[in-house]
């Protein structure tokens, strides 16, 4: 999926697939950045579009994390009851 994906296509992906796509696009972005800095890249607009596409993917990934059910995995030390200090009477 090296072309621009719509938000609905990104939302249909699993979190693992989405992370892989983000990594792929970030490596492409790094190559484009080097090309721009070395003045080998002719079209600077593609560089900017790639950055926005990565941002869109990260936004969808964050939305997936927020909508996922939260699993509480407390350890035994976290489950201990807290002691309450009672003031002494005089």
Domain-located, residue 59: yes
Q: What is the pLDDT of residues 43-84, one digit of tens each?
A: 788 888 999 999 999 999 998 888 877 666 666 556 666 666
Domain-located, residue 37: yes
For the chain, give the mean pLDDT: 81
Q: Looking at the 3D structure of the chain, how many domains does it have? A: 1
**pTM across the whole model:** 0.65
- Burial label, 28 (beta-carbon count in 10 A; 0-12, 13-18, 19+): middle
Q: If pLDDT is split at 50, 70 and 90, which confidence band does 7 have?
A: confident
Higher pLDDT, 72 or 33: 33
| Range(s) of the domain holding residue 21 | 7-68
Domain-located, residue 82: no
Residue 2's pLDDT is 44
Contact between 47 and 36 under an 8 Å Cβ cutoff? The reply is: yes
Query: Taking the CA of residue 67 as centre, how many other CA atoms within 13 Å lie in the half-sphere pointing to its CB?
Result: 8
Contact between 56 and 10 under an 8 Å Cβ cutoff? The reply is: yes
Average pLDDT over residues 5-28: 90
């Amino acid at each position: 999926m090296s072309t621009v994906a719509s938000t609905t296509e990104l939302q249909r992906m699993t979190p693992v697939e989405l992370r892989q796509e983000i990594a792929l696009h970030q490596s492409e972005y790094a190559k484009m950045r080097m090309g721009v800095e070395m003045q080998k890249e002719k079209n600077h607009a593609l560089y900017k579009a790639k950055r926005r596409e990565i941002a869109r993917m990260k936004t969808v990934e964050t939305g997936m994390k927020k909508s996922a059910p939260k699993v509480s995995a407390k350890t035994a030390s976290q489950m201990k009851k807290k002691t309450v200090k009672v003031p002494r009477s005089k």
